[in-house]
């Protein structure tokens, strides 16, 4: 891990992937790469879009996980352990599928 040549190479690879996305997405669609360090070593600071810090959410914004996203209740169980995070309307992910019926127009 941290501080090893392989880990440093992995960070460089992530930076290169970020640059590829940056060249292929519209300007402003991708957040800037911000490198970080931990105890003097190169590090990656990551987050996800599933959770919000409880202090930053109102009661009205909190929603349960969809059974499509969390069919076994693992994510719901993770947030209930320490009560610091919640799942909100802003965290909700919607999935769409294109169904092509030859006799109907695509929508």
Query: If DSSP states are collapsed to H, E and C, what string results for 5-66?
Result: HHHHHHHHHHHHHHHHHHHHCCCCCCCCCCCEEECCEEECCCCCCCCEEHHHCCHHHECCCC
Expressed as residue numbers, the domain containing 66 is 48-107
Contact 61, 90 (CB under 8 A): yes
- Distance between CA 87 and CA 24 in Å, rounded? 31
Task: Grade residue 16 by pLDDT with cuts at 50, 70 and 90.
Answer: very high
68 and 23 fall within a common domain = no
33 and 20 fall within a common domain = yes
106 and 60 fall within a common domain = yes
Most confident of 20-24, 48-52, 95-99: 20-24
63 and 94 fall within a common domain = yes
98 and 67 fall within a common domain = yes
Q: Is the pTM of this model over 0.75?
A: no
86 and 102 fall within a common domain = yes
State how many domains the chain has: 2
């Amino acid at each position: 891990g941290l501080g090893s040549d392989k880990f440093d190479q992995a960070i460089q690879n992530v930076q290169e992937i970020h640059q590829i996305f940056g060249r292929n997405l519209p300007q402003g669609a991708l957040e800037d790469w911000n490198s970080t360090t931990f105890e003097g070593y190169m590090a990656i600071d990551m987050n996800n879009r599933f959770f919000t810090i409880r202090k930053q959410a109102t009661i009205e914004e909190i929603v349960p996980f969809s059974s499509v996203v969390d069919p076994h209740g693992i994510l719901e169980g993770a947030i209930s352990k320490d009560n610091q995070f919640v799942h909100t309307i802003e965290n909700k992910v919607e999935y769409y599928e294109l169904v092509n019926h030859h006799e109907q127009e695509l929508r």
